[in-house]
Structure 1
Amino acid sequence: MPAIGIDLGTTNSCVAVFRNGRVEIIANDLGNRVTPSYISFARGERQVGEAAKEDSTENYENTLYQIKRLIGRTYDDPSVQADMKLWGFTVINDDNKPKIPVVNSSKGDLFCPEQISAMILEEMKNTAEAFLGETVTDAVITVPAYFNDAQRKATSDAGVIAGLNVIGMINEPTAAAVAYGLDRQSENERNVLIFDLGGGTFDVTIVKITGHKFDVKATGGDTHLGGEDFDNTLLEYFVSEFKQKHGEDISENKRALNRLRVACEGAKRKLSSTTQAKVQLDALQDGYDFRSNISRAKFENLNYNFFERVFDTVKNTLSDSGLKKENIDDVVLVGGSTRIPKIREMLGKYFDNIELKRTINPDEAVAYGAAAYAFALGSDEDPALKGFVLEDVIPLSIGIRMYDGTMGFVIPRKTKIPTKLWETWHTSEDNQTTVSFKIYEGERTLAEENHFLGEFTISGIPPAPRKKGQGNVLLEINACGILHVKVIEKITKNSNEITIAGAKGRLSDSEIKRMVQEAVKFRKRDQELKQRSDARNALEDYAYTVKEGVDQKHLTRQQRESIMSKVTEILQWLDINMTELPERSEIEAKKRELERVVE
């Protein structure tokens, strides 16, 4: 059974498989090698990809996108609060977990980000199965290098809900480095900087590549910076312009915002190849049309602060790696937003006019590397991946809150993974019988200023003077970057352990189990809808075939009129039931009625 690699993107997703000595990017049923990360619900039907994206301007309340910006985050996260104002769909607060209500036919559903991401992953799984002609369960899923533990765990949970066995997770720029290294097929040692600017996230990773050995030296990034932000600055600019021209504020009109967002994305793409782009929308609000132009220079000016943030990250990552920019042999562009001319200009200038490498497809490179890694994790061997070794690092330090509120760093950032480290702990008070451990990730001195991962308690410690009660704590990070913590008390050998999944906003095992069951129900519902749709199409095709061929048959006038009357009745019935598809049995019964008349 083959293992696949899935690039679960903010804007687009892609799936690939390694077989017969090479990686194959798998096209979806429309023949496209990337699929928009969109889900829409309408008329009792769920759509994924291109069809959902096309539905977004009209069915804006029930079309979900950019879900990667929600996954693993809490409702009160400032980035979630900012994004909510620009989305057409609604996000509600459920015990500080962001959830999305949709109306599917007459029924309301409430989804968490993991469920929506699972639907996109399942679409990638189905695409691979159709291509390979066999069942696929094993997968490697990519994540931004700077995804924290909560976001990684949530992505892994989404894979489980989708019916996948997540055999590994790989950082997106590392996957791109694998794609670049395999594409070059060189044994010479090179320091490669992967510049990965996608739709919603930005990563920089510096990798030493020697043949098929990939040694990550440093990684940096921003989990909330990408092409969607550039779209948003255009959106805000045009909202302001519309208000100046017509005195109308469309910021609360979600339908108008969604239409304008689509136009902004189109203008941004056009500005990568031309210096001017038009935005034209009829009856945007209260009958007012909107006509405007945007220049490339204006676009660059609006997004200059974002571009500056990008290059601050590049400089910091270089510093972390211990290398100077002169030591970088190749700069590789990955992600759709690297097509922006100003980004390329600034990057080339910073690296003293080095030739930027564009030999790998920026939209497909991450899935390509993930597929190669997925194959390498299996037991099969292939000469094309002989000697494959991948050494990745953690992007943020992991530590424990000390009794004085400071961060006790246990696993420093840039540590190779998988890894495990033991740390000794002591009681902080006399006769203390319980100790709580709070786990954080980040680089700040005060623990509370870092990202909280979770906490747990060990009890039953024999009473003793301060610092005499002690034990060991193990922090272990697996190859997916997910943290497991275990504590052992020295005298009684009492222990407690958790895989960090219990912090606020995470899914519990019972929630995941319930969502897996719901995903199965959705799968059955989708299958039933497809069967109904196929039956409806078969009936309609048959009715038109009979209508077109009735004059060619040797029939009496009465027979002809009887057949045409039935055909008209069937076609009218189909029109009436266009929105809500009848049951398959009812549709097939109608077809049998027509067949009896024809016979």
Structure 2
Amino acid sequence: MSSVTTPVGIDLGTTYSCVAAWFDQHDRVEIFPKEQGYMITPSYVASNGRDLLVGESAKNQVTRNPTRTVFDVKRLMGSRFSDTRLQQDIQSWHFKVIKGSNDKPVIVLEHMGVDMEFSPEEISSMILKKLKEAAEAFLRTTVRDAVITVPAYFSDKQRQATKVAGTLAGLNVMRLINEPTAAAIAYGLDKFSDPDHPNQKNVFIFDLGGGTFDVSLLTISKDGTIRVKAVGGDTHLGGEDFDKTMVDYCVQVFKKRQNKDISENARAMARLKVAYCLYDGIDFSLKVTRVKFEKLNACFFNKFIEHVENCLRDAKMQKNNVDDIVLVGGSTRIPKNIKADEAVAYGAALLGAKLRGNNTKVVNDLILLDVTPLSLGVKEYGGRMNVLIPRNTPIPTTMEKLAVTVFDNQVGMQVSVFQGEYDEVEDNIFLGEFIIHGVPPAPPGKERLKVCFSIDANGILDVSGELVSTGDKKNLVITESGSLSGYDIERMLNTVEL
């Protein structure tokens, strides 16, 4: 293989994933075909007892082997096992998920007669590695560098978990980019050179994937600048929720018709999800009207509308000021030259070329100004959230605030970092904490601590605290996936080589 490397863009999706790269000779992005010529790869991992299967081969045997087929792993990334929504998902999955250390979810997969434990990062890395191999086969060169997309509403821990998955797959993650922003790049690529393109357009991205939902409002300028105004969404809302609702409805109808409950039969439930059911010699089919479908899923449609309205409000923009709406996701199709399943990887590939230093005009002119999706702050005395960086702040960015002692002769000052929109920190996402000791004796309010929050272009946070009177300093780097050590990553690397 050639020693020259080409950066790739990867859309690591809940149900399907995709990989692409910019080609100078064609002056465009190309999506790489995978096994059997498909442009997208199912985000599935399975064991057939002898081999670990990834992609199409894993998905194809899900009805025969439901308990050893893993999917929806993106919903596990950076999550806590005790999360209520994750517990609801676990009830609908047929593969086993247990509680690991520090409340992390662990996937148990029987392989070669032994129950093996995998972190969500390890499973995701197998999917990324499959995409990496497809790119190498197409390019006939080693692939090292990648831009990986994440939902706009991914938390810091979820972003860190994604970076770890990339590392485990042997990739250098050049940048994490929000999925709707990547789709906006794909949308804007053929607009920048259009002489009729106005100097500025307001574009609303509606990204409904298999497991996540994102909205983003952007301003796209003719000179190639893409400025994100506001983002919103739900990392636990997508097409899989429609599937679950329809499966539950079919189970109820089957029980009413046959007086049999198939909800505990893993194979029957897996077959039902792919549009048919065979249980105890009984075939099952059901016609669902569009009206019935919309009624069953009305709660999800209402959530979509709520997120759209919140995004418009955050951007301080009226509906009539939106020039274009771009639909992204497996159930939508973007007109013209962009396909909904491929748009996110397409935009990520273009950014990868930009980061690599490509001098092609359309690539070189691209300027991306993204925002942080969730507020970041510290815990105040009494448990309130003190926000340093509000949501929808352009990134990269750095913000500072002064904290003071609250007790007489206080000897230490603790900085606890949270992410979220609630007033009380207990309702937000805990990211980490540190304590600065050796505070000089003084009355309350006398000693001051300068707290600095810095977010990089990936949306990942670094926190520092400096005691003003002494200059003593401490840093908090939010470690990958919450608390993974170098040893943890090395252990995972050995595991994914199986």
Q: TM-score, normalised by structure 1?
A: 0.79
| Aligned residue identity for 1:478 | D
The Cα offsets for residues 37-86 of structure 1, whole Å up to 9 and x where unpaired, read as 01111132111111100111111111100100111100011111111111
Give the 3 Å change call, closer, same or farther, for CA 454–358 of structure 1 in structure 2.
Answer: farther
Aligned residues: 486
CA deviation after TM superposition for structure 1 residue 406, in Å = 1.1
CA deviation after TM superposition for structure 1 residue 502, in Å = 7.8
Q: Which residue of 1 aligns with 2:264?
A: 252
Counterpart CA distance in 2 for 1:301 and 1:507 is 44
Q: Which residue of 2 aligns with 1:571?
A: none
1:220 aligns with 2:209: no
| Aligned residue identity for 1:387 | D
Counterpart CA distance in 2 for 1:102 and 1:293 is 35
Please state whether the residue corresponding to 2:96 is helix, strand or coil. coil
Counterpart CA distance in 1 for 2:364 and 2:190 is 14
CA contact (8 A) 1:192 1:328 kept: yes
Give the 3 Å change call, closer, same or farther, for CA 502–215 of structure 1 in structure 2.
Answer: closer
CA deviation after TM superposition for structure 1 residue 216, in Å = 0.4
Please state whether the residue corresponding to 1:293 is helix, strand or coil. coil
CA contact (8 A) 1:205 1:219 kept: yes
The Cα offsets for residues 196-255 of structure 1, whole Å up to 9 and x where unpaired, read as 111111111011001211000111111111110000000100111111122222222222
Q: TM-score, normalised by structure 2?
A: 0.95
Counterpart CA distance in 2 for 1:419 and 1:362 is 31
1:334 aligns with 2:328: yes
CA contact (8 A) 1:8 1:121 kept: yes
Counterpart CA distance in 2 for 1:513 and 1:497 is 24
Q: Which residue of 2 aligns with 1:169?
A: 176
Please state whether the residue corresponding to 2:189 is helix, strand or coil. helix
Match of 1:135 among 138, 142, 151: 142
1:452 aligns with 2:430: yes
Counterpart CA distance in 2 for 1:489 and 1:337 is 53
Spell out the pairing of 1:182-581 with structure 2 (5 A cutoff). 182-185=189-192, 186=194, 187-188=197-198, 189-211=200-222, 212-263=224-275, 280-282=276-278, 284=279, 286-338=280-332, 359-501=337-479, 506-519=483-496, 521-522=497-498
CA deviation after TM superposition for structure 1 residue 24, in Å = 0.8
| Aligned residue identity for 2:324 | D
Please state whether the residue corresponding to 1:219 is helix, strand or coil. strand
CA deviation after TM superposition for structure 1 residue 512, in Å = 1.5
Please state whether the residue corresponding to 2:74 is helix, strand or coil. helix
Counterpart CA distance in 2 for 1:129 and 1:220 is 35
Please state whether the residue corresponding to 1:373 is helix, strand or coil. helix
Query: Which gives a bigger RCO, structure 1 or 2 (Cα 8 Å, sep 6+)?
Result: 2
Counterpart CA distance in 2 for 1:513 and 1:464 is 46
Structure with max Cα Rg: 1
Counterpart CA distance in 2 for 1:417 and 1:153 is 17
Q: Which is richer in helix?
A: 1
CA contact (8 A) 1:398 1:413 kept: yes
CA contact (8 A) 2:42 2:55 kept: yes
Counterpart CA distance in 2 for 1:470 and 1:165 is 40
Counterpart CA distance in 2 for 1:43 and 1:254 is 18
| Aligned residue identity for 1:441 | Q
- Gapped regions of structure 2 (runs ≥ 5): none
1:36 aligns with 2:42: yes
- Gapped regions of structure 1 (runs ≥ 5): 264-279, 340-355, 523-599
Counterpart CA distance in 1 for 2:433 and 2:297 is 40
The Cα offsets for residues 97-116 of structure 1, whole Å up to 9 and x where unpaired, read as 11111111223210010100
Counterpart CA distance in 2 for 1:359 and 1:138 is 26
The Cα offsets for residues 166-216 of structure 1, whole Å up to 9 and x where unpaired, read as 010000000000000002234521000011111111111011001211000
CA deviation after TM superposition for structure 1 residue 411, in Å = 0.5
Please state whether the residue corresponding to 1:88 is helix, strand or coil. coil
CA contact (8 A) 1:156 1:166 kept: yes
CA deviation after TM superposition for structure 1 residue 422, in Å = 1.4
Please state whether the residue corresponding to 2:373 is helix, strand or coil. coil
1:12 aligns with 2:23: no
The Cα offsets for residues 310-367 of structure 1, whole Å up to 9 and x where unpaired, read as 011111101111111110000011111336xxxxxxxxxxxxxxxx856521000000
